[in-house]
Amino acid sequence: MGVGVQVPPLAPNSTGEIQSPTYVVGLRSSKMQVQVESVNPARRQVKLQIPADQVSRTWSTVIKRIGGRVRIPGFRPGKAPKKLLERRYGAAIREQVLERLLTKVIPQALDQAGLEPLGRPELDEVGEVRDNTELAVSFSCDVLPDIELDGYMGATYEIHRVEVDDEDIDAELEARRQRAAKVVDVDESAIKDDIVRVKYALRAMVQEPAEEPDWQERRIPVGSATPWLSDLVDGRKIGDILEGQVELPEDEGSELAGGPALIRGEILGIQRRMVPELDDALAQQLELKDLAELRQDAERECNVRANRRNRAIRQQAVLKGILDNHEIAAPQALVNQEIDGRIGQMFGGMNLSDNPGLSRYLEELRDSIRPEAAKGVQQALAVRRLTELHEIEVSDADIDAKIESLVEEMADMEDRVRETFATDSGRENLKAQLVEERIFDLILQGSTVKDGPVLHLRDPDPQPEAEAEEAEAETKADAESDTDQTESSSEQDAEKSAENEE
């Protein structure tokens, strides 16, 4: 993730406290005082005094512009007195003056103070805007924090390892079988997981049959979460007539929902997902010689995934050690960008602003994502600092070799891989990846590595102790809550039973 250019830290004074340096920005014939204060390691507040003559010049420009546009009885355009314009359009004048001043002085103040903001600066306070009067303004912005890293070389890291076994290979073969499955029409009784196309109409229990029933057509998976209809089509054949009484759930989306109804319908079609056998025929369908070669290819794919995961595990172990021993501030501007990116991936680039009903859900989602997003930003900042501290050389030949390695790993996507890394930006991204990989290799070569537990591809990564304890506590709390609800429900049922007996 790109995190921009690092901003130099504010210099500490003799007592070790952060000073608030004052800069002078020249604005034609006057000077603007700019004071920078550290809110936290990743945020600065800028206070400035815009000189009276700068305000006056801007005020005159706005008055002239407004006077040339408005129509005031008794005066030609642009000839109305300044005082009259101020009296009639004072609010608009002040608003435009402020906008023009801020648009000009904020970038100048940031540049003079050596600050490169992450995101847009946020206005904190503005004094009263008056002609020929000095104007006080303060605003804040996020910046990249200064990061000092030490102690990570020569440290001890516990790293678990992913190894491929027969069960992993069997799981990969089964996944390939499932991907090769085809959905076909069948003329047999519907069984579990079949897709049944049914046409039906519902009516109330006491309603007379309508001349034209309100027919609807649905595709129902047998054994799905729509049991009232799924159970009705289970075991049926094409052409079978459905008649009887059903109990509709509350969320059915019908005016009859939540009560009994009469149904009449017909089975129009049945489709079944046919999964091929694991044999030579499947191998040849996948453009391989036989089952033995298919198994070899599945093992190769498993090893590629294990190697990628092992590299990620090694990097995460180093980053965890660094974050455990260093305070790295995460600028909220970058955290928000990270959250936006993750939500965008979840919703596939949908324009969520078009759905105001999602606003509350999205806010809750953002809050739930924020801790992990902040951690991601901290890791990215740590990696960025490591690349500054370790000057790693990567040649064009190294990049070419990496491309060939990726082509070998993803042989079925060779053209796409080569196209991706044929551009300058693609090669630069790959170079940055190689630099990161070599930095982590260098750190671990100079450190003590303890073997953690051996995992397999099917196993999740073990949680850090703190996270595991938190997850266990949440599980325990949920279990206790479920127990309380069950006991409460049982008590209520017992009370009702006793009342019925009486």
What's residue 12's pLDDT?
Answer: 33
What's residue 18's pLDDT?
Answer: 33
**Which pTM does this prediction carry?**
0.73
Greater pLDDT, 469 or 165: 165
What's residue 180's pLDDT?
Answer: 96
Does residue 271 sit in helix, strand or coil?
strand
**Is there a contact between 143 and 115 (Cβ–Cβ < 8 Å)?**
yes
Question: What would the two tokens of residue 499 be?
Answer: 């009342």
Say whether pLDDT at 358 is over 90: no
Does CATH number 3.10.50.30 belong to domain 182-274? yes
What's residue 480's pLDDT?
Answer: 53
DSSP letters for 288-341:
-SSHHHHHHHHHHHHHHHHHHHHHHHHHHHHHHHHHHHS-----HHHHHHHHHH
CATH number of 22-142: 3.30.70.1050
Query: What mean pLDDT is predicted for residues 183-210?
Result: 88
pLDDT interval class at 156 (50, 70, 90): very high
Say whether pLDDT at 154 is over 70: yes
Helices vs strands, H then E, count in the chain: 12, 12
d(CA 442, CA 456): 26
pLDDT interval class at 368 (50, 70, 90): very high
Classify strands 448-455 and 118-126 as parallel, antiparallel or unpaired: unpaired
Share of the chain above pLDDT 90, in %: 66
What's residue 56's pLDDT?
Answer: 95
What's residue 14's pLDDT?
Answer: 32
Greater pLDDT, 69 or 315: 315
pLDDT in tens, 476-489: 555 455 545 444 44
Query: What mean pLDDT is predicted for residues 206-224?
Result: 81
pLDDT in tens, 260-304: 989 999 999 999 999 999 999 999 999 999 999 999 999 999 999
What's residue 22's pLDDT?
Answer: 46
Query: What mean pLDDT is predicted for residues 232-237?
Result: 93
pLDDT interval class at 220 (50, 70, 90): very high
pLDDT in tens, 96-113: 999 999 999 999 999 989
What's residue 29's pLDDT?
Answer: 38
pLDDT in tens, 125-137: 999 999 999 999 9
Say whether pLDDT at 497 is over 90: no
What's residue 352's pLDDT?
Answer: 66
What's residue 17's pLDDT?
Answer: 34
Residue with tokens 């690092």: 6
Q: What is the DSSP letter of 133?
A: S
What's residue 467's pLDDT?
Answer: 53
Highest mean pLDDT range out of 128-137, 360-369, 403-412?
128-137
CATH number of 311-455: 1.10.3120
Average pLDDT, the chain: 85
Question: What would the two tokens of residue 7 be?
Answer: 């901003």
